[in-house]
Chains A and B, each alone.
Chain A
Amino acid sequence: MRTLSTDGPDGESDEGTDDESNGGSEENATAAASSGFQAELAASVRAVDVLLLLLAPGALLAVFALPEPVRRGLAFSYTDPTLATAFASHFVHLDASHLAGNAVGYAVLAAVGYALAVLSAHRRFFLTALVTFLFAFPVALSALNLAVPRDAISFGFSGINMALAGLLPLLLGVYARERFVPSAPIRALPAAFFPLVGWIALLALPRSTDGVGLAGIATAIAGVLLGVLYASSAGIRLHRSTLGRIRDIASRPGYGDLFVAGAVLAVGYPVVGFPADPTGEGSVVNLYVHLLGFCLAFIGPFALLASGAFEE
């Protein structure tokens, strides 16, 4: 069997062998690497970070404890917008299932994002983005919703969750560069963003055989092509060593698992956030705010990241 090598920063490499007798030593190495990952992750987590991460769920629960008329009064009405409701509405949930969905979504996205950030030495970047998402995004997203006048009220935390999902490709990029591919250029990250936007279009836009129904597919194809073009212009080439790195990522317990989990979330969360049928009984899921959150959360932090503002 051909031996593949990696050029990770720690200089570690897994060397494959045809010798079955080496299986036991490989398992031992895997267990050791896994415990090393856990130890490094535990050492990187700080109590103040955890408190900050728990700020959002605490706020969600506190608001949910308010009487429903009060919560409904905190919803953002497009016909009667106020600064207070523009901010508070993102922490308002009218029923428990709505709250539970957003709380679980936040827990997964924030946990994976934080782990990727601290293990890629981008803790400050992540926490800055999180604080921005929690305190600035609510007002920004509400304000942008006013661009489409309609008699409706908006509420719920999913816009901010989608911001965390939009941040995920950036965190995966810096994590990959930190752990697997030191030469990967940060400026190439939009090569992941465009296909994801195309993927969202494919999920959210109605599909049918007429012209309007082809918009989603067309946007998805355009997104993929833009991603390929962007990656090509950034000098990324798909060659055997890249495939080898992917295999290397998968073969590294802990670190590889975290990357895979992040990648699955980056691709899978839009499926949850952009359902094909967003209508419910007397309500319509605000896909507009989901898309805004996702895109703004990528574009802004990417600009700062590409400028080197968060090099640690």
Chain B
Amino acid sequence: MINAHRTLAYALLLVAAGSLAFATGATVLDGPADTFAEERLAVQPADGPNGNYAYLNDDDEIVVDVSATNPNLSPDFEGVNAGALASADGVFTITYTADEYAHVWIDHEGESVTFLANGESIEGETNNVTLAPNESVGIGLSIDTRGEVAGTQLGADEFSINATIANPETADIEGDSGSSTGGGPTTMMSAPDANRREFVASDIGYGDTVRFGSDGMELDGGDVTLDGLDLEGVGNERVELHAAGSRDPPENGSALDAPTTPRSVAYLALEYDFEPDAVDAMTVRFSMDRDRLNATDTDPADVTFYRQTDAGEWNEKPVAVVDDETVRLQGLPTDRVHFRATTEKFSTFAVAERAPRFDVTDAVVEPTAIDPGDEATVRATVNNGGGAASEETVTLTAGGAPIANETVALAPNETATIELATTVEAAGNYELAVDGTSAGTLLVGDAGSDAGGDANEAVEAGSSDDTGAATGDTAPDDVSADDDPTEEPGSIDLAELGGLLALLVLAVAAGALVRRIPR
């Protein structure tokens, strides 16, 4: 974001006060600070390198200045690149100095700049963070100059910091939300594309945690987004990662393939400049649009996360759904479901949905021959080899036409034996199958002339809606021939008759030839 020829200058001035009103508390601040809410909120430039973007002016008002006019910056600094998406955390800090809890947020109307706390927007009351007494939160910036013209002077904007007293019952939940003081590692994020991000963190202390916000990087359009990456126990002073999201497997990569046949949703490919053991673990923060989950009838608990090993295998990693209370306290968008996946190694990842996979094995019909009107029973073993529990209907067919069904509920890796009984009225041979798995041939005898014929085509489709347990008691369904009576023509095949006539002619001709043979 620095030293570009095509630049924008951007300056922000703090002029508004908050609305908090309560008893004065002790201050724990060192140095000068801008204050709000009857001096219950103190605002100071952060200690880290990004703190240079903020300073207190002559009136002790906090100023965020990302332009050449900033006296703290190098004379060469010209501003932010045009057409860029950049972020910087730890620009200034807000410290709550009273002795209760407070919800704090920033109001700001500009669209180019978003104030961030812990990688998430802090703009608007709904995105507030809760601060305990003497607790600070580091405020960063996300600057989006896409669509702006090079050389534009955006001028001064105003923003206000607001606070209200927090509900005591909920305030203490957010114990670690303000842990960032602005004095940690310096992080930079750029977005060359909607589905690509480049992260750089520097000034990392040994074992520090580095939190990258990715500003909703698209994994599957806007439905599935990467919201951030948290590196824990970083051993390097500087790390750099490049992330790319896609609906399809990355180029030169393979599609998600696991024994439980999950459905892939999106892929995340990571490239990094550090040794794998330089980072203890990584938390991948991603979210999915709630409407999309509802549309595909997906339980958030069935959303999972896979990592592809160097050998090409896909290993499932633990995923947690962020609960609603945490979503509210952290000010995360409530129209999305938020997930946290953890991994110790980095490569290509896949967001996926666990899916049930019902397989029918060992289907057998007993008895194999019955009289018309008698009942035959098909026993079949059904296994759920998928990763999600489900209730599915297993269908018995005769010659491809459904004649009975049963609904089975199975947990992952659960196996059950079901019985499907059916009564067959019409004589013939029926090829029975349960969900496509052959159960053998059922011979329905008839003293009539059509016995032994293939009656599969004459089977009339029938179905039942009965639902039973896995070893349930399916009510028998009748198998009947077509409603129209069977035609029993007394006929002979013309082609075969032609063959007989030809044989007749040959026999007579042979007799004539035999007579011509001299004796």
Contact = CB atoms under 8 A, between A and B. Distances in A.
Given A101-B491, A153-B485, A271 B447 contact: no
B310 to A, nearest CB: 55
Contacts of A271: 496, 500
Nearest to A141: B490
Interface stretch (A43-51, A272-280, A297-305): A272-280
Contacts of B452: 205-206
B321 to A, nearest CB: 57
Contacts of B455: 279
A85 interface: no
B488 A261 contact: no
Interface residues of A, number: 67
B449 A287 contact: yes
Interface string B374-391: 000000000000000000
B512 A253 contact: yes
B508 A261 contact: yes
Interface in B461-519: 481-482, 484-494, 496-497, 499-501, 503-504, 507-508, 511-512, 514-516, 518-519
A122 interface: no
Q: Which one of B457, B485, B489, B511 has the greatest number of beta carbons of chain A within 10 Å?
A: B489
Nearest to B458: A282
B448 interface: yes
Contact of A148 (B446, B491, B511, B514): B446
Interface stretch (A92-100, A193-201, A229-237): A92-100
Contacts of A256: 511
B449 A278 contact: yes
Contact of A269 (B453, B500, B511): B500
Contacts of A289: 449, 488, 490
A150 interface: yes
Contact of B493 (A101, A155, A261): A101
Interface string A151-164: 11111111101000
Contact of A288 (B449, B496, B511): B449
B504 A268 contact: yes
Contact of B514 (A158, A161, A250): A250
A272 B488 contact: no
B487 A282 contact: yes
Contact of B492 (A1, A94, A102): A102
Nearest to A72: B487
Contacts of A285: 449, 488-491
A286 interface: yes
Contacts of A157: 490
Contact of A279 (B453, B485, B497, B500): B453
Contact of A150 (B446, B499, B503, B516): B446
B500 A268 contact: yes
Interface stretch (A17-25, A59-67, A123-131, A172-180): A17-25
B448 A148 contact: yes
A260 B449 contact: no
Contacts of B511: 250, 253, 256-257, 260
B38 interface: no
B450 to A, nearest CB: 4
A154 B490 contact: yes
B454 interface: yes
Contact of A284 (B453, B508, B519): B453
A250 B497 CA distance: 24
Given A268-B500, A278-B453, A279-B453, A257 B512 contact: yes
A23 B501 CA distance: 31
Contact of A158 (B453, B454, B484, B490): B490
Given A158-B489, A257-B508, 7 more contacts: A148-B447, A150-B427, A153-B487, A155-B488, A253-B511, A261-B504, A275-B493
Closest 4 CB pairs of A and B: A156-B490, A16-B519, A158-B490, A288-B449
28 contacts: A16-B519, A18-B519, A77-B485, A90-B490, A93-B489, A93-B491, A98-B489, A98-B491, A101-B494, A102-B490, A150-B486, A151-B485, A152-B487, A155-B488, A155-B490, A158-B492, A261-B504, A264-B504, A268-B504, A272-B496, A275-B492, A278-B450, A279-B455, A282-B487, A284-B450, A286-B488, A287-B449, A289-B449
